[in-house]
Amino acid sequence: MSEGSRGSSLAFGQVVIGPPGSGKTTYCHAMREFLGRLGRSVALVNLDPANEALPCPCALDIAELVTLPDVMDSLGLGPNGGLIYCMEYLEANADWLRDRLQGLRGHYILFDCPGQVELYTHHESLKNVFGQLAKWNFRLAAVHLVDSHYCTDPGKFISVLCTSLSTMLHVELPHVNVLSKMDLIEQYGKLAFNLDYYTEVLDLSYLVDHLASDPFFRNFRRLNEKLVEVIEDYSLVSFVPLNVQDKQSMRQVMQAVDKANGYSFGDREQRSLEALMSAAVGADFHFSSTLAVQEKYVQSQDKAVEEEVMDL
């Protein structure tokens, strides 16, 4: 697995990124269980030096190299500065990562990454680590998790879109944006638009108009219009809804990631008709999945209204 070698076999996997609390570790655990039932040999790699309470054993843990508490104590850094130092230390010790990953050849790798947004929007270390993995013949897709409750707040959703776009441009990997915790979205209030409006990131001018109805945001209409223009000009951001407790939802995310990193066409999977069709008609699967989630959401809203009426 020497650097720059193209003779070694390909390895496939996901780098799971996103802000704190978006459900990265939960996703890694659920995806490992899901893929394992499909017959894939999955290995979980923890690259988060602040993750001390892992729900399941890891094949490789960055804690063997460096931990955030140790860095904070020895260097007098805060959590954010400590995480950046840890990623710079990992980049400087890439040979350690390469040697440890050597024993995981033949596995599908899930990389559980830190939750600091700066690491994916403008800092270089983690991006360089991903670049090294590509040189070692890893074919990776970035799975960017975003908590779905941001959809209930138009201002926050625009911020999420900007962050997602910035991450996609900076990380430079095939990218799948995921709206996580869809089973909990009704707890945060009613959506202003149908769910497919948020997953497909449709005409955002409606979102700006909706924001303008708020006296606070009315003064920032011009700024919001420009932010929306940037997002729409790139036309890159869309989302796949995810409920880790729903097998169909997990399947949809798996298909999107397999299409992104090329696993469906790689040497680790039979080129069966089903795999080819799932990649070819991914948009149809996405649409069906979105409709299913939307239907569940609407039903929960209708049930809440009925209960309110009964109480009266």
CB 21 within 8 A of CB 115: yes
Tell me the pLDDT tens digit for each residue of 105-150. Answer: 899 999 999 999 999 999 999 999 999 999 999 999 999 999 998 8
Please check whether residue 200 is in contact with residue 151, taking contact to mean a CB–CB distance below 8 angstroms: no
Provide the CB-side half-sphere exposure for 202 (13 A, CA): 8
DSSP secondary structure letter of residue 136: T
pLDDT at 298: 56
Cβ atoms within 10 Å, residue 278: 20
Superfamily of domain 11-201+237-301: P-loop containing nucleotide triphosphate hydrolases (3.40.50.300)
3-state secondary structure of 60: strand
Question: What is the model's pLDDT at position 78?
Answer: 94
Domains of the chain: which residue ranges? 11-201+237-301, 204-235
- The pLDDT of residue 213 is 82
Q: How far apart are CA 72 and CA 215, in angstroms?
A: 43
Structure tokens at 164: 């997602």
Strand partners, 13: 109, 140
Q: What pLDDT was estimated at residue 312?
A: 56
Q: Which residues pair with 141 in a beta bridge?
A: 14
**Angle value at C-alpha 271, between 266 and 272, nearest 5 degrees:** 150
Alpha carbons 99 and 281: distance in angstroms, whole number = 38
Measured torsion, CA atoms of residues 214, 217, 218, 221, in degrees rounded to the nearest 10: -130
Which residues touch 217 (CB under 8 Å, ≥6 apart)?
Answer: 154, 155, 211, 224
pLDDT of residue 309: 52
DSSP for 183-250 reads GGGGGG---SS-HHHHHTT--THHHHHHHHTSHHHHTTHHHHHHHHHHHHHHT----EE--TT-HHHH
Task: Identify whether the C-beta of residue 32 lies closer than 8 Å to the C-beta of residue 38.
Answer: no
The whole-angstrom separation of Cα 102 and Cα 131 is: 17
The ranges of the chain with pLDDT < 50 are 1-7, 266-273, 275-277, 279-287
The pLDDT score that the predictor gives to residue 268 is 44
Could you give phi then psi for residue 61, rounded to 5 degrees? -130, 130
b/e burial code for range 249-276 (CB count within 10 A of at least 16 → b): bbebbbbbbbbbbebbeeebbeeeeebe
What pLDDT sits at residue 292? Answer: 61
Q: Which two tokens stand for residue 148?
A: 């779905």
For position 214, what pLDDT does the model report?
A: 78
Q: How far apart are CA 158 and CA 140, in angstroms?
A: 27
Residue tagged 């420009």 (tokens) = 226
CA dist 186 and 184 (Å) reads 6
**Cα–Cα distance, 86 to 182 (Å, whole number):** 32
